[in-house]
Structure 1
């Protein structure tokens, strides 16, 4: 009997989903994880690669290219809890999943996420400097967002299901719980591959800025998850070495907010700008 379900929405992820599904089975028995891959609007071989990489996984194909719809479909196929929400481009081992389950199964918290490993090899210096600052922000260190993995108890899933559909679904998940209700689990690590170029970083950050603004309009964003001037001043006071990288962070942050304005004016929270360099 499965001890947890894993819901993986996947849109044109043929390049990496095989590797990531194989990693997900490492450190577990075949029956431990009920893995559901929902291929949404794919025009590549994502479904074929997924079935070959993990014959035990249930691979579902839907026509609509929508992460939110894929998650809804995936959730409807399983009644197993805890529930792991995993992005298809994130590498997480089965051993790490089991560590993420432990605090929830002990009823210590409602939601967990792993530490993130953001490998910088092959990235431009602008991308590296941006992530040096971003990863050091206190809300980024403590929040569940930006990891590509969130694990929910049944109670937590009910809370998340009641939320309106959001572009920044991981921010919505993170900010739905207090610090006492959520936990970043020491020892569990997800590999989150960053964009390699500044242009791809901007595309990713425009999407995130749009989703963050939507969460704010819906009243679902906590003040503690925002980056303020005080946040940055406190960060540079603690880590003076980041001062020289701060202009890069601020430049990307400002450009992303400007880039998000068109979507905000039109109310477009469905166009999914993503970088392709992290998937190559």
Structure 2
């Protein structure tokens, strides 16, 4: 058995339904000893830890909930660099990971795969939102939203110890300039978006609150936000249907209201698991 070429940290809260799929996807094409995998089962009451162990991952259990805290615990147990931080409900295979490792070898401090959305079970309106969102982000992908990011040893020093924030991938994304990070063409992660309109709104409100928190921490986004003009341009070009655009705007308005309500109720920093894609 050889030395590991990459460490992998997976924060998992109540993920018994998906953790085996995640681990099997990642390890299917790996050589013995090639991957150093740490699963952090945080505040789990289900069989997440047992299943992860049965898949031969090292497992840390903690009663403290929260993804950022779990990532820090897992990171402390890693044996090598680079380090991959992977969502438990996202599938990433070894060919994609190898492409990401090449990007790090060529000088990128951080990189991510390109997300590929599995729309199985997604409602019609939720699918409309996701199609428009995907079109708006085309050509400006970053480290957030792909469910996985890989850090070089130097890049790691920019991020860890990771503070307790709502959006860990947003924090990581904003730690690097455009020239330092890369969305790796050819590398794919299978992401399962929120299935219902309600779940989309809750997830988007969480994104909005996470971005606001990062702004307050001084982690300003380098890129200008995607605005209404971009959406109108896509509609005029025929790349987005008018009805899809209208539903997209309705969801954005709704998530803005929900985010504001959570701030007013003092729940904007309260940890909550995201099960909308289950």
Same fold (TM over 0.5): yes
Deviation at 1:268, TM superposition (A): 3.4
Q: Residue 85 and residue 215 in structure 1: after superposition, are their counterparts in 2 closer, same or farther (change >3 A)? A: same
Does the CA contact (< 8 Å) of 1:5 and 1:33 recur in 2?
Answer: yes
Provide the C-alpha distance between the structure 2 equivalents of 1:165 and 1:261, rounded to a whole number of angstroms.
21
Deviation at 1:94, TM superposition (A): 2.0
Q: Residue 62 and residue 157 in structure 1: after superposition, are their counterparts in 2 closer, same or farther (change >3 A)? A: same
Does the CA contact (< 8 Å) of 1:114 and 1:185 recur in 2?
Answer: yes
The 3-state SS of whatever aligns with 1:188 is strand
Q: Indicate whether 1:176 and 2:175 are aligned.
A: yes
User: Mind listing any 5+ residue stretches in structure 1 that lack a counterpart?
Assistant: none
Does the CA contact (< 8 Å) of 1:129 and 1:248 recur in 2?
Answer: yes
Q: Residue 264 and residue 273 in structure 1: after superposition, are their counterparts in 2 closer, same or farther (change >3 A)? A: farther
- Residue of structure 2 equivalent to 1:186: 185
The 3-state SS of whatever aligns with 2:50 is helix
The 3-state SS of whatever aligns with 2:73 is helix
- Residue of structure 1 equivalent to 2:91: 91
Deviation at 1:187, TM superposition (A): 1.3
Does the CA contact (< 8 Å) of 2:6 and 2:81 recur in 1?
Answer: yes
- Residue of structure 2 equivalent to 1:219: 218
Provide the C-alpha distance between the structure 2 equivalents of 1:78 and 1:235, rounded to a whole number of angstroms.
44
Deviation at 1:239, TM superposition (A): 4.2
- Residue of structure 2 equivalent to 1:118: 117
Q: Indicate whether 1:60 and 2:60 are aligned.
A: yes
Q: CA RMSD in A?
A: 1.8
Provide the C-alpha distance between the structure 1 equivalents of 2:237 and 2:164, rounded to a whole number of angstroms.
37
Deviating more after overlay: 89-98 vs 258-267: 258-267
- Residue of structure 2 equivalent to 1:17: 19
Provide the C-alpha distance between the structure 2 equivalents of 1:238 and 1:231, rounded to a whole number of angstroms.
11
Provide the C-alpha distance between the structure 2 equivalents of 1:241 and 1:71, rounded to a whole number of angstroms.
37
- Residue of structure 1 equivalent to 2:132: 133
Does the CA contact (< 8 Å) of 2:6 and 2:82 recur in 1?
Answer: yes
- Residue of structure 2 equivalent to 1:203: 202
Provide the C-alpha distance between the structure 2 equivalents of 1:61 and 1:270, rounded to a whole number of angstroms.
21
Provide the C-alpha distance between the structure 1 equivalents of 2:99 and 2:245, rounded to a whole number of angstroms.
34
What is the TM-score with the length of structure 2 in the denominator?
0.92
Deviating more after overlay: 262-271 vs 185-194: 262-271
Provide the C-alpha distance between the structure 2 equivalents of 1:50 and 1:64, rounded to a whole number of angstroms.
18
User: Mind listing any 5+ residue stretches in structure 2 that lack a counterpart?
Assistant: none
Provide the C-alpha distance between the structure 2 equivalents of 1:31 and 1:41, rounded to a whole number of angstroms.
29
